[in-house]
Chain A
Amino acid sequence: MKTSLFLWCLVLATPALGAPLANQDAVLQVLKTIDYRQHNSGDYKSLAYLEQKEKDKTDIAREALIYRRDEDEKLMILFTKPKGEAGKGYIRLDKNLWSYDPGTGKWDRRTERERIAGTDSRRADFDQSKLAEEYDATSKGEGKLGQFDVWELELKVKPNTDVAFPVVKLWVDQASGNVLKRQEFALSGRLMRTLYYPRWQKLYSESKKAEVWYPGEIRIYDEVEKENSTIVVLKSVDLRPLEANIFTKAWLEAKSR
């Protein structure tokens, strides 16, 4: 889905930051701002570190390359470390999420609820933000998160939209417009995950002609298995163009050959 530059300028021009959310339009603008700031018009590549902690188990660490082409809604995650995990990956093509294992050479279709590589993370944690497109939001007032003044929003999934969790609560920093905390709920109302975003970073994008924001660190706490948690650190982001045919199964298969 291509959004015109005009619309993005409109979003940017919205005087939302630092002010109370007076109406539904202002709430929507907050979401659009969050989405826009993380969107890149060109390609995106990052080197991510994932650490999974589980009760009575040794910590599991992984490194992965994350490739995105937001304009075509494409995403690929390619695990690179440790050696036993290297070559495993995920590709999102349209509404399909595929998982690949070079050990078997086979592709498996996965759902939005897939725990990426068995961690508490989901596909959407690594992909472009599409909050305004996927959810309807309402303001739940203002509050404090640590020392930060935040807007509290409640999001409900739009009809016929496939997301991992249908209800989401956001705590958005009034000063920077970044999401600092996110809670996700099942349809039954049960809290499933709590996420914290303690560090947001930005880079200038030549293709976008604006800054691209990304969470430098995500702390994910499993609310069902309370002992489980995941840390995601985006160690580096590279906005140079990627190979044209990178988002194909054949490319990922070839990487493991």
Chain B
Amino acid sequence: MLRLLLQVSLRNLFRSRINLLIGAIIFFYTLLLVVGGAMLDSLLGSMSRSIVGTVSGHIQLYSVTSRDPMSIWPTMGNEPDLSPMQDYQRVEGAISKLPNVKAVVPMGINGSLITSGNTVDLTLAELRGVVREEKENGKTAELEAERQSLKEHVRQIVRVLHTDLGRATEMETTEARDPEALAAVERASSDAFWQGFDEDPYGALEFLENKVAPQLPDGDLVPLRYVGTDLDGFAKSFDRMEIVDGQAVPPGRRGMLLSKFIYEQYLKLKTARRMDLIKEAVDTGALISTDPELQRYVHQNAQQTREILLQLDPLKSEQAVRALRASLGRSDGTLPELLSAFFAVTDDNFQARYAFFYKELAPLLQLYRLRVGDVLTITAFTRSGYTKSLNIPVWGTFRFKGLEKSPLAGNISLMDIMSFRELYGYLGADTSAEIQALKQEAGAQAVDRTHAEEELFGSGRKVVAEATPGLIDDKKAFPGTAANLRRKDLQQRVFDHAEISRGVVLNAAVILKDPSKLKQTLREVRELSDREHLGIYAVSWQDASGILGQLVMLARLVLYVAAFIIFVVAMVIINNAMMMATLRRTAEVGTMRAIGAQRPFVLTMVLSETLTLGVVFGAAGALLGAGIVGWVGAKGIRATADIMYFFFSGPRLYPHLSISNVIAAMGIVLVVSVVSTLYPAFLAARVPPVRAMQTDE
């Protein structure tokens, strides 16, 4: 009978237009499910690779006493309030023994705004450092050369400022300029000032810092988010990480690896950065003549040449003028004019000028505000409430492979965990006791703000009192610190792995040998924590990734809702179509019933016809879907915005089809087909044989 049913189904497959309509619906529904499912799975897979491969690992551990849940990318931008783990060393030891655990990496995440200061502030700070070094340790030929070079640089800055002010004075009324500021720049421009510099370097520096430097615009604030970690362990566990400039921080040493993204975005000379952005866009087919953003970069580069002028001393200026005149084919023009003309690039000359910029001009400039090997000062609010600043040497820059352009992956820099702990700064017992003593001695009582006026100025209060002349002994109040010795000591000291595990750890990433067993391992970690009282929560990468984890959930939800809506719509359409088809076949069914076909046969016949429709058109849809996914997968979908690099886990998303996508799509399609045919099939089965004769009449 099965054979008969199959024959009937195949015979009827293309017999009516209604069948073709139903087939088309099934075809497109399957196509959509296969392509949509494969796309979403690929996207989620890519996102998970980005999240797991950058900071989160497969599982995140954090203390049960934390106020907030773990969130690597917090929804509101505020770092979660995590308490340190009670005993990280024990946690690490216990979790590492689980069979599926490959590594446990200690961490802590925090952020800070670093002020880069304006160009003259930075140069004067360097000059002050050299003067201090000479005073403390004596003069050397090397320091002398450095001092002369820095002085030349400052003189160049003053020259630029002097020219600017002269130009501004010509254009404005004299009242518009502060005469004191003008006089300060005049004095700083004079040969006499620089001849006398070495006689009283501190006096000269204070004059420059307080009278001249404020006339330049302030430097930028650079947002810096950092993960304090065991840098060695991190590099081994997160294999997407690679050093771009400089070198890895040697094991046991303090230091920082800046994210290449942050380094380029915030610390590079703005003109050079804009040239890079134009180059990237032009190389992918954009045209300066039609792209407003590229035109804006060109305009800004042509207008904002001051930062370059501030960097070029007379010798370098001369070299730059010579090179620029040759490049532009001009025999005259001042450096500002030549720079403006040079940076006014077009589609025709951009590539040549870009190459020229890096070959001829860049060697004369300091392209980055902070160079590899420099010391970065980070100030953070500690847990004790006090601020803490630390000098941390920058050993290099790094990136996560494939995520070079992603702001989400790129906004994280890495720091050794010892420095992180200092910036995190818990309130120690001795400091607590000191604070209590200070409070007790001062005897200031808290006054609630709602009753402040009544308490402070109510009846019986006096607001005037004679004071006893105090004799304050400064030396007793502040005997001094050995801060500079401590600074040097911190830079040199080497720490071992035991020190890394012993101190404050806020969270830890667990890397698994087999990521597919995530749920099982998560269960094992939780059981272990309960059994051994480790005091930790264990959450999956998705739960730990904050806003990104929510995005993954949202994406899934959108697909499910879309699939459900299409499911319902398809069911209604197929149901209606089948109803029409059944009504048209009343005579046929009646005749079949008259010659002996039983109701179950009719029911099965209608259902098998729809199932055959589902299999044939569904398979065709799945086949085309597989073809589309294969084609797109070979070509890749290009990330058109920086944020997409993270979602695609690279510059392109390469969708791939898994057999589960096809099985799921076919399964859903067949269920839809059968369910929507049940009622029409039931109606068909109830057609009596007499109906065939009535219809004939």
Measured CB to CB, the residues of A under 8 A from B are 45-47, 49, 51-54, 57-63, 65, 78, 80-87, 93-96, 98, 101-109, 117-118, 145-148, 173, 176, 178, 180-181, 194, 196-204, 214, 216-217, 219, 221, 226, 229, 231, 233, 235-240, 248-250, 253, 255-257
A117 surroundings in chain B (CB, below 8 A): 386-387
B459 surroundings in chain A (CB, below 8 A): 146-147
Q: Given A203-B467, A256-B484, is A83 in contact with B434 using a C-beta cutoff of 8 Å?
A: yes
The residue that B465 contacts in the complex, of A81, A199, A221, with Cβ under 8 A, is A199
Please determine whether B386 and A238 come into contact, CB atoms closer than 8 angstroms.
no
* Main SS at interface, chain A: strand
Please determine whether B464 and A200 come into contact, CB atoms closer than 8 angstroms.
yes
Please determine whether B457 and A106 come into contact, CB atoms closer than 8 angstroms.
no
B461 surroundings in chain A (CB, below 8 A): 146-147, 198
Measured CB to CB, the residues of B under 8 A from A are 115, 117, 121, 125, 128-129, 132, 202, 205-206, 209-211, 213-214, 218, 377, 379, 381, 384-391, 427, 431-432, 434-435, 438-439, 441-442, 444, 446-447, 449, 452-454, 456-459, 461, 463-467, 469-472, 474, 477-478, 480-484, 486-487
A176 surroundings in chain B (CB, below 8 A): 463-464
A78 surroundings in chain B (CB, below 8 A): 478
Shortest beta-carbon distance, B131 to chain A, in Å? 9
Shortest beta-carbon distance, B123 to chain A, in Å? 13
A46 surroundings in chain B (CB, below 8 A): 470, 472
Shortest beta-carbon distance, B78 to chain A, in Å? 14
Bound Cα distance A87, B206 (Å): 20
Please determine whether A104 and B391 come into contact, CB atoms closer than 8 angstroms.
yes
Please determine whether B386 and A84 come into contact, CB atoms closer than 8 angstroms.
yes
Question: Smallest CB-CB separation from B458: which chain A residue?
Answer: A146
Q: Given A106-B389, A145-B453, is A178 in contact with B464 using a C-beta cutoff of 8 Å?
A: yes
A101 surroundings in chain B (CB, below 8 A): 379, 389
Bound Cα distance A83, B479 (Å): 11
Bound Cα distance A178, B125 (Å): 42
Q: Given A80-B477, A94-B210, A221-B449, is A199 in contact with B483 using a C-beta cutoff of 8 Å?
A: no
Bound Cα distance A45, B471 (Å): 9
Bound Cα distance A101, B470 (Å): 28
Please determine whether A201 and B389 come into contact, CB atoms closer than 8 angstroms.
no
Please determine whether A103 and B480 come into contact, CB atoms closer than 8 angstroms.
no
Shortest beta-carbon distance, A103 to chain B, in Å? 5
Question: Smallest CB-CB separation from B438: which chain A residue?
Answer: A61
A93 surroundings in chain B (CB, below 8 A): 206, 209-210
Question: Smallest CB-CB separation from B442: which chain A residue?
Answer: A49
Please determine whether B447 and A95 come into contact, CB atoms closer than 8 angstroms.
no
Shortest beta-carbon distance, A240 to chain B, in Å? 8
B202 surroundings in chain A (CB, below 8 A): 248-250
Closest CB pairs A-B (n = 8)? A146-B457, A236-B470, A102-B483, A201-B467, A198-B456, A49-B442, A61-B438, A80-B478
A95 surroundings in chain B (CB, below 8 A): 210, 214
Shortest beta-carbon distance, B380 to chain A, in Å? 11
Bound Cα distance A127, B210 (Å): 18
Bound Cα distance A245, B438 (Å): 30
Bound Cα distance A65, B472 (Å): 9
The residue that A105 contacts in the complex, of B213, B457, B477, B483, with Cβ under 8 A, is B483
